[in-house]
Structure 1
Amino acid sequence: MNDKKKVRKKGVREILLMGIFWRILFIEGVLLVYSLGYKWLTEDASSLDLFWYSIRITVLVIIIVTFMMVTLKKFLAQKIIAPLEAIASANKRLQEDISDTEHLELSENYPHEIKTIVTSRSKMLKDILYISEERLKYSTALNDELNKGKKIQKDFLPRFLPEVKSCDISSYFHSALQLSGDFYDMFELPNNHIGFVIGDVSGKGVGSALFMALTRSLLRVFSGSFTTGDSMNFGGINESFLPKDALKAVSLTNEYLAKEHCEEGMFVTLFFGILDPITGKMFYINGGHEPVLIIGEKGIKQSLKATGPALGPIQGATYEIETIQLETNDILFGYTDGVTEARSEIRDFYTRARLENLINKDFYGSADAFLEMVKTDLFAFIGDAPQSDDITMIAVKWHPYL
């Protein structure tokens, strides 16, 4: 191994000259043996005559080898070795500074193969620098566009959570990439009802972000939380507001996505709940989303599982509307799979079991404190591992307003 390492460290000058030296020496040695044998076989020579003859031949061989090595060294150094060393030195400088692409100054009388190497190197460097500059421009422009998209997407999330006297509301959102497929929304509905949504679009990146924006907008329009100011009534909302009418927004959104965007193969899971903050009664649909948890002071009281499939793949899908009655100080906790599927530095999953074990401990505090507890445990588990998916959480703590 040590001998091999030494051979690798030899320069082109040493390798060429030593290779030529040993080849010449071998040829001259063969000629020396041949001449001695020939003289011994063809002439009546004594041992002393053969000895002096061998000395004369050896001296002649040394003179010839020395002359040839000096001549070849001068030729190789000027014509081959010097240009190769100049190219190697220039390439080494390129490793330290990619912008150092100065022209190689070589003598005029070097072989055409060396000229071809230098010409090809120069053209290759120009092409590489041009492509690198173009990619840098494209990358900068793309990054600027993604930052704009990130800002626009951020504007789709609620800037301010609704202030409801009987509810303590908190949220947390952290995307894995610049653009996210996760979203949450909270908005006011007629008759003092509060609507809240948490959703997760398949995949990540630009496509998921656009699909998220579309889904969020459709839900708002179809549920009646946004109108155009005219007589249009997308969700069947009338003056005598009924939560079940507003929840038709899920079916209407699914129909639109399945009809207009089925070819993209994307889908969105979501939980849409409508809460009466006075009575604590909630109507909800879970479209293939992670179970939303109802948590009391002693832990998990109920798990609100799917009442229908994810939105997008199936036209005409059925979504059952369920109801639940919150009790004083109950916390409604929704999250995306970026929580349960978060990975540690050793690639272990956080898992729903760990989340539920954490929640099942006695907890007394606000919605903010609850999310902070979950977030602290989650990121302690993740450590320095890269975030594998978007993380979104909402918490609503209900207490009757007196």
Structure 2
Amino acid sequence: MRALGKSRRTSRTVTVGLCAAACAAALTAAAPAQAHGTGGTAHWELKVSGTDVRFRGLSAVSRDTAWVAGSKGTVLRTTDGGASWRDVSPPAAAALEFRDIEAFDARRAVALTIGEGEDSRVFRTDDGGATWTESFRNTDPKAFYDCLTFFDRRHGLAMSDPVDGRFRILSTSDGGRSWKVLPRGGMPAAQEGEAGFAASGQCLVSAGPRDVWLATGGAARARVLHSADRGLTWKAADTPIPAGDPARGVFALAFRDRAHGLAVGGDYRADQASPRSAAVSGDGGRTWKPAGGPPASYRSGVAWLPHSRTSALAVGPTGTDLTRDGGRTWRTVDTGSYDTVDCTPDLGCWAAGEKGRVARLER
């Protein structure tokens, strides 16, 4: 945005689910402001990234492997749980701003830079960042790309703020090696001033092979748009998160399946309150209800805890909040600054943000 074996498998699933529940319980027990943690509680453990750039792009592959992308064209990768980071920044992107990255494994990733006109680009690597290919460069001065998402290793989408009154969607069917603009006929008209927020790489998210959701703000109403056919047609739903200002709206979404979703946001200005900063949906985003006890401040990132039907984390510049009831109520569990959060099936949760901050959830 211009402002910003069956029995063995069953046993393992039960074990991981119990671990996720234990992690959520430990987080609940943690005292606020416990950035490093003591006494065995779950906590964010800061990792030394070796840079002071702001990371708004994050893709967690596992507890060991994660990618972060941010300002000054910076992309880092770890394969040892954050003990060390390799600078794998594309040489051609030094003057650009990365805001989203989607990694398939330790070697393959697709990253998005934002900005007006040619500043919006997509890069892909197949060798762990040793080399990158620029697979898309925006040539429309009216377009401004914010986020991208993948359904699988081949199929993905990227979204731009409205062009001629409608959000623009890019599509790839070859893992981000090539892109095409989808027809605009299936996209509802945008509101005056409506756009996405390139704050955490979570304004466009997917669940399953075909469902995708797009978060908006800046207009009279903060909305979530949903497509069940990989971006060809969309339906819009209002959310209770306040908008009516370029700095307000839905900043991030997370769906644990095609029905159950969370939305967080608010007003990103530090001197402005953010009431009703979270909402929840149980019908695939067709309707949204306000959280009864939302985070106290603006939140820019959100992620479900792995293998949990009720627990999730939301992050922002003033801290981290935990829900254990599917998004109805939230409790602050850490006051460290983070912009984005991502979790993996092997119970790896990562967060990243300003001043080179990267952390992994430890217990």
Structure with the larger helix share? 1
Q: When the two structures are superposed, what TM-score results if normalisation uses the length of structure 2?
A: 0.28
- TM-score w.r.t. the length of structure 1 is 0.26
Larger Cα-atom Rg: 1
Highest relative contact order (Cα 8 Å, sep 6+), 1 or 2? Answer: 2
If each structure's strand is expressed as a fraction of its own residues, which one has the higher value?
2
